[in-house]
Amino acid sequence: MTLTLIQAHGMVMILAWMVFASTGILFARYGRSLKLGSRRQLLGKAVWFQIHRFLLSLTPILTLLGFLLILVHAGGQWINP
């Protein structure tokens, strides 16, 4: 099975928003109370915060990638029906 650009677009967008963004939000809410807690440090910040920041930094990058995939599929044309 070959992966089309439309399928890749859908997979990247779902991964960005349904997995990374929601997991990053959950780490912001519940990360302090996990065993990782706020006492453990990674690069000068709490581990939960670094995970939160990493996941939410990936979201716009993957969103841009998903947008570019569908734009390439459309041949670079933006057509309003």
Domain that holds residue 11: 5-73
> Does pLDDT of 31 surpass 80?
no
> What's the CA angle centered on 74, arms 69 and 80, to 5 degrees?
120
Q: What is the mean pLDDT of residues 32-60?
A: 80
Q: Model-level pTM?
A: 0.78
29 within a domain of the structure (yes/no): yes
Q: How far is residue 74's CA from residue 68's CA, in Å, rounded to a whole number?
A: 10
pLDDT of amino acid 24: 92
What single DSSP character describes residue 39?
T
Residue 23: the pLDDT is 92
The answer to whether position 30 is within a domain reads yes
Domain total in the chain: 1
Q: By C-alpha distance, which of 4, 17, 6 is closest to 63? A: 17
Residue 11 lies in a domain: yes
Residue 79 lies in a domain: no
Flag whether 62 is in a domain. Answer: yes
Report residue 61's pLDDT band, with 50, 70 and 90 as the boundaries.
Answer: very high
| Domain contains 80 | no
Summarised one tens digit per residue, pLDDT across range 3-17 is 798 999 999 999 999
78 within domain boundaries: no
d(CA 27, CA 19): 12
Residue 36 lies in a domain: yes
